[in-house]
Structure 1
Amino acid sequence: FFGENKGLVIAEIELATENQPFDKPDWIGREVSDDPRYFNACLAQTPFSRW
């Protein structure tokens, strides 16, 4: 991301099933899929730097 969302990194992984095991890299933080603050439309209106 750039501008007021600079520094934010959102990673996505696609698995065959929701419970499929995978090796999570150390740099990945918490799950944010259901947090509307991370939706693109919300980030455009209320950037990450303002939280």
Structure 2
Amino acid sequence: MKYFSILFLVLDALFKRKQQNPEDFRDNKDKFLDMARKYEPRTYDKFKDRE
């Protein structure tokens, strides 16, 4: 139960930050996709097909 409350606090903080700066999250998504393309090309292809 302790871990659940910690996870909830982290997600809550991330959500509040996302409301303040949506552009940051768009940049982070692009960074994540670049890393996925570099390190996990097969997974990246599956993810790209879904979008």
Which category describes the TM-score, using the shorter chain as reference length? under 0.3
Normalising by structure 1, what TM-score? Answer: 0.22
Normalising by structure 2, what TM-score? Answer: 0.22
Structure 1 or 2, whichever has the larger Rg, is: 2
